[in-house]
Amino acid sequence: MSSRQACLLFACFVALAACQGKPELDVETASAAAGSAPAALVSPTPAVSAELPPGHPPLDGAAAAPAASLPPGHPPLAPEAATDTDLKAVEGTVLPGGEGEHGLAWTAPAGWVAETPANRMRRAQYRIPGLRGDAECVVFYFGPGQGGEARENAERWAAQFTNADGSPATAALETRESESGGMKVLLVETRGTYGGGAMTGSGAGPQPGYALLGAIVEGPDANWFFKLTGPEATVAAQRAAFASLLGSMKRGASRPR
């Protein structure tokens, strides 16, 4: 796979055992009967550069970003800016790989609304309704040798959150290793003011009171990234649902069930 075909990951999580006041989510025994995936909707378009992991080469047509906004060690992005036409041209397509025996399947929880993935880095995308505001769960796959190590991606996710005083909320990062379907899983959780991508295409600014549940799964040939973000109350209410999704994962399939 050429560097111009590779894209980012990423995406969304299960509860951590050490979190005070939060129920532990046992991914290894979570029910696989969480319900079937709902019908597709139109999805928001996030900032592409915010989804690229450290050291990932630029996507075709990716917008150039100021050097200060790029992660350490990231190569320069292509100078040409992405347009709506560019995004529409790849809508409905995905990065190569992750199919057949190298694929991964899961059951979407009941109530999660499947959307058309915003770009080809995403293998699936869900809107999750909540009384305090909707959350979003995105699933990323980049292919063998792409996307970076699990731990560095967990730290990158945490760096997308800040404390009330504007300082990085990296101290809130919690991780735990687990297993599901014979695959290793790194569970990730953090909270704070989220600035790692808007929930809509309206250019919304930082979102205070947000939380993240994430899981980085060692798939058959490459990592898969599950990233759930949204208002803290909505995310908290989805802990069991997220665990059930992870508990339903199976090798050798190419799409969610």
**Cα 119 to chain center, whole Å?**
13
In a domain, 163, yes or no: yes
In a domain, 111, yes or no: yes
77, 47 Cβ separation under 8 angstroms: no
Residue 95's pLDDT is: 76
Concatenated DSSP letters of 199-233:
SSTT----EEEEEEEEEEEE-SSSEEEEEEEEEHH
What digits encode the pLDDT tens for the residues 192-228? Answer: 999 965 443 435 688 999 999 999 999 989 999 999 9
Paired tokens of 154: 């967990």
Phi-psi region of 166 (alpha: psi -120 to 50; beta: other; left: phi over 0): left
Calculate Rg over the CA atoms of the chain.
Answer: 17
Structural domain including 149 reads: 27-53+94-251
In a domain, 20, yes or no: no
Residue 148's pLDDT is: 87
Residue 60's pLDDT is: 43
Ranges 142-146, 228-232, 252-256: which has the least confidence: 252-256
In a domain, 173, yes or no: yes
User: 170 — phi, psi (to 5°)?
Assistant: -65, -25
With DSSP H G I counted as helix, E B as strand and the rest as coil, what are the percentages for the chain, rounded to 5? 20, 25, 55
- Is the C-alpha dihedral spanning 107, 109, 113, 117 positive or negative? negative
In a domain, 14, yes or no: no
In a domain, 58, yes or no: no
Helices (H), the chain: 84-90, 150-158, 232-237, 239-247
- Tally of structural domains, the chain: 1
In a domain, 126, yes or no: yes
- Region 16-44: mean pLDDT is 43
60, 79 Cβ separation under 8 angstroms: no
Concatenated DSSP letters of 93-128:
---S---GGG-EE--PPTT-EE---SSTTEEEEEEE
CATH of residue 169? 3.40.1000.10
Residue 6's pLDDT is: 38
Check pLDDT > 50 for residue 61.
no
Residue 53's pLDDT is: 61
Task: Say what the pTM is.
Answer: 0.66
pLDDT band at 113 (very low <50, low <70, confident <90, very high): very high
Residue 196's pLDDT is: 66
Residues above pLDDT 90, as percent of the chain = 44
- Region 85-102: mean pLDDT is 60
